[in-house]
Amino acid sequence: MKKTASSGTEREMAVLFADVSGSTRLYELLGDVRAFAAINNCLDLLQRVTAAHGGHVVKTIGDEIMAVLPSGDAAVQAACEMQAEVTAQPPVENTRIAIRIGLHFGSALETDSDVFGDTVNIAARMAKIANSGQIITSDATVSKLHPIMRASARILDALTVKGKTEDICVFEIVWQESEETTMMVGRTQSLPIHESAVRLVHLGREFLVNAERPSVILGRDEQADIVNQNRKASRIHAKIERRRDKFVFIDQSSNGSYVTIKGEKEIRLRREEFVLHGNGSISLGHSYAEDPGDVVEFFCVY
C-alpha cells in the first residue's frame, strides 16, 4: 500500500461490478414502482453479501453496484453467493430477477469516496462481457486464486480491451452445482485427492493433469500450456480440466477439435465438451488423417 501525491491510497484489491440484467424490461413488465422496489431489494442483497466477505460497496449506479473486496478469492466467493442468493429469490409477479457480474484483482487508487485506475476499467469491461447469470473475470485474477477456487474457472476467449496493448484471456467462474461441477461458495477445506490423472504427450513433451494441476490450455498462443503452431488452431483453442475424478476436453475454437478414442471413430467437437476416457489422440483444427503427426496423445488413469 502506498500514498500517492493526492489524498488517495494505491493498493491491491478486487473490484466487482454487478448489475440487474434486463432492468428496462423489468420496468415494462412490472411498472415503475414494483420494478424499482425489486431492483433495490436485489441491490441491498448484493451489498449484504459484499460486507459478509469483507468488502464494501463503493457506489450504486442505477441498477448496478461497484464494490471492492480484499482479495480475488473473497470476490469470487462473494460473486458466487450473489448469484446463488439472487437465483433463490422468489419471482416478482412471475418475473425472475437475474444479475451479471464482472470482477478483476489488481492495483487501484482508493479515495474516501471512490476507486480509480486500470483495475476498475478491466472489471467494468468484464461485467459488460457477462451474460445474465454469469461471473466473468480475467486471467490475471484467476492466477491469484487459491487452487480450489481456480478449479471453478473456465477459459472463454482472448479479447482485445481498449487501452491494453495485449489481449486479456477471459474466464467464466462456474458457480452452479451440477453433476460435474461444484459451487465454490464458502468452501475452505481441500477437495479429496484422488489418484485419477490424464497424461498428455505433444511433440515429445509430457504434461500431467491431476489434482495438483487441474487444467491445461491448448492453442496457438505462446502463453498456452500446450502450444500448437498449426494455422487452423485458434489462439486459445481448447482446455482440458479436472472435474472431481473426470477429465473434460472443452473446445473453444473456430475450426473445432477432432478426438479419437482408441478403438472408436473420430468425433468432431466445436464449442462442445467431451469427457475423456481410455487413451487416444486430439487434433486441433483438423482431422487426424489430415496430419497424423500433429496431435496431442492422451492416456487416462482412473
Q: What is the pLDDT of residue 188?
A: 34
* Whole-angstrom distance, CA of residue 250 vs CA of residue 218: 10
Q: What is the pLDDT of residue 46?
A: 96
Query: What structural domains and CATH numbers belong to the chain?
Result: 8-173 (3.30.70.1230), 197-301 (2.60.200.20)
Q: What is the pLDDT of residue 54?
A: 93
**Taking the model in full, what pTM does it have?**
0.59
DSSP-assigned letter for residue 233: S
Q: What is the pLDDT of residue 8?
A: 77
* Whole-angstrom distance, CA of residue 151 vs CA of residue 145: 9
- Nearest residue to 79 via CA among 129, 2, 137, 119: 137
* Whole-angstrom distance, CA of residue 169 vs CA of residue 283: 22
Q: What is the pLDDT of residue 212?
A: 84
Q: What is the pLDDT of residue 155?
A: 83
Q: Is there a contact between 105 and 119 (Cβ–Cβ < 8 Å)?
A: yes
* Whole-angstrom distance, CA of residue 239 vs CA of residue 286: 17
Q: What is the pLDDT of residue 198?
A: 93
* Whole-angstrom distance, CA of residue 99 vs CA of residue 138: 19
Q: 245 vs 183, 191, 254, CA distance in Å?
A: 16, 11, 29
Burial class (CB in 10 A: 0-12, 13-18, 19+), 141: buried
- Tens of pLDDT along the chain (302 residues) come to 555 545 678 999 999 999 998 788 888 888 899 899 999 999 999 999 999 999 999 999 889 999 999 999 999 999 999 999 998 888 888 788 899 999 999 999 988 889 999 999 999 999 998 888 899 999 999 998 988 788 888 887 766 666 666 678 889 998 875 433 344 444 333 333 346 899 999 998 999 998 888 899 999 998 899 999 899 999 999 999 988 778 999 999 999 999 999 988 999 999 998 999 899 999 999 999 998 888 999 999 86
Q: What is the pLDDT of residue 115?
A: 94
Q: What is the pLDDT of residue 160?
A: 64
